[in-house]
Amino acid sequence: MGCIVMERDYYTMDDFSFDGKTVLLRVEFNSPMGPKGEILDDKRIRESLPTIKGLEDSKLVLLAHQSRPGKKDFTTMEEHARRLQKYVKQNVRYVDDIFGWNARSHIMNMEKGDVLMLENVRFYSEETLEQSPEAHSKTHLVKKLAPVAQIFLNDAFGASHRSQCSLVGFTPVLPSGAGRLMEKEIDSLNEALTGGGETIYVLGGAKVDDSISVTKNVLEKKIASKVLVTGVVANVFMAASGIRIGKPNMDFLEKNDYIGQIDLAKTILKAFDGKVVLPSDVAINKDGKREEINVMDLPTDYLISDIGQATILSFSDMIRHADKVIINGPSGIFENPEFSAGTNDILMAATRAKFSVIGGGHSSAAVEQLGIEDRISHVSTGGGACIDFLSGKNMPAIEALKAAKARIQK
């Protein structure tokens, strides 16, 4: 089952001619970095290749960020340009300037087929202000770069829940559209939110507040047939249902400010009776070893670190027979082989569903480790952005692209 695409309310690359044009492309190259400034995983660079290769007749100027001020991996885009060079035929030039004369003169001297990587946009203080596209369009970055470009494309889905300068500021002043990755993300996540048939959401990991927002959204809108909960999310729902999960697990919730989520989970369980499916057994970490116990035998003095085998079998069976399955967050501490069974088996089951979407950094990493990317309909590149989209929240960078199309159609 593929994505059913309606008439789009934003422009895509199919709506433009790029031949010889100067294109500003906002990409999401923010990558895990090692201590010597090396890129540890270039997945996000690879995910942008269909867009970049589709622009090989243009003069292509790349805008991107790496990390944020105060972080150890807040660094230049030089290594990212070098890594991109490995994957494309064109010469990729890096310039250590964002919108000054050095950057602009390089842009004006580009020839068709050239690729230029500008400096980390977050080196510029106005970038990280959250304000409207119109306000951002009056910043130095936009005022200096817009006159030397003809088209703006946004391919940075992973940052699309932000209203920052390089993401939204060009849309009021340049013809603007979505890159191939942005288009694919929007199509796939819209498909995940249309429901239809048996639609199963599997929510795990440790970001409880995010998962509760998604649960509420997909049940209220009758998108999900069922929400299966795993990981710390399951611990909160179990506590909400009156199960005593044990002191170490309650302490973990308290330490992470998740105690308040128990009341929210209670209201969801009450409002949507039978729609949230809890584990029937769990795996605890008993002195480094996996031990499985029935939920009826809780509380425990050990940390719950995965779902148990009976739960894995019943959840996998529901997932395999689903029309659509959306998974966000691991089922346990999957980095530890003792507690990876839940995460791995549920992801393997998703390969049998008719349509599957995997979101969140940890789940995506597990998909890559298992080597099953080609058997999943869509693996999202956006962690926070994917969750916000599935929660029904406003996505400023996507709204800016819609406004750009509406402005031109007037």
Write the pLDDT tens digit of every residue in 60-114: 999 999 999 999 999 999 999 999 999 998 899 999 999 999 999 999 999 999 9
**44 marked as binding residue:** yes
342 and 284 within one domain: yes
Tell whether 5 is covered by a domain.
no
Spatial distance between the Cα atoms of 390 and 215, rounded to a whole number of angstroms: 9
Over range 337-341, report the average pLDDT.
97
Q: Percent of the chain, pLDDT > 70? A: 99
Judge whether 363 is annotated as a binding position: yes
Per-residue pLDDT, averaged over 321-332, amounts to 96
What is the per-residue pLDDT for 326?
A: 97
Tell me the per-residue pLDDT of 2-43, one tens digit each, with 9 for 90 and over: 444 557 999 999 999 999 999 999 999 999 999 999 999 899
Span 149-192, pLDDT tens digits: 999 999 999 999 999 999 999 999 999 999 999 999 999 999 99
Residue 321, marked binder? no
Q: Is residue 99 part of a domain?
A: yes
Q: What is the pLDDT of residue 360?
A: 82
Please give the average per-residue pLDDT across 137-154, as a whole number: 98
Domain shared by 307 and 403, yes or no: no
Residue owning tokens 């890159």: 179
Is 362 marked as binding a ligand? yes
* Mean pLDDT value across residues 44-68: 97
Do 74 and 222 share a structural domain?
no
Q: What is the pLDDT of residue 362?
A: 87
Q: Per the annotation, does 67 bind a ligand?
A: yes
My answer on whether 200 and 139 are in the same domain is no
Together in a domain, 18 and 90: yes
159 and 212 fall within a common domain: no
Are 134 and 49 found together in one domain?
yes
Average pLDDT, rounded, for the chain: 95
- Assign 1 a pLDDT band (cuts: 50, 70, 90): very low
Residue 68 is assigned to a ligand binding site: yes
Query: What is the pLDDT at residue 218?
Result: 96
Share of the chain above pLDDT 90, in %: 93
- The answer as to whether 337 is a domain residue is yes
Judge if 223 and 299 occupy the same domain.
yes
User: Is 399's pLDDT higher than 90?
Assistant: yes
Instruction: Determine whether the annotation assigns residue 162 to a binding site.
Output: yes
The pLDDT value recorded for residue 6 is: 56
Structural domain of residue 282, as residue ranges? 194-390
Q: Is 122 annotated as a binding residue?
A: yes
The confidence score (pLDDT) of residue 361 equals: 80
The answer to whether residue 4 sits within a structural domain is no
> Any idea what the CATH number is for the domain that residue 272 is in?
3.40.50.1260
CA atoms within 13 A on the CB side of 137: 13
Q: 385 and 301 share a domain?
A: yes
Q: Are 258 and 207 in contact (CB under 8 A)?
A: no
Asked whether residue 6 is domain-assigned, the answer is: no
Annotated binding residue at 90?
no
pLDDT band for position 219 (cuts 50, 70, 90): very high
Q: Could you tell me if residue 94 is inside a domain?
A: yes
Claim: this prediction has a pTM higher than 0.85? yes
pLDDT at 258 over 70: yes
Give the per-residue pLDDT at 410: 80
Domain identity same for 369 and 399 = no
66 annotated as belonging to a binding site for a ligand? yes
Domain count, the chain: 2
Mean pLDDT of 126-139: 96
Please list, residue by residue across 30-54, b when 16 or more beta carbons sit within 10 angstroms of its beta carbon and e when fewer do.
bbebeeeeebeebbbbebbebbbee
| Separation CA 23–CA 110 (nearest Å) | 11
Q: Are residues 404 and 378 in the same domain?
A: no
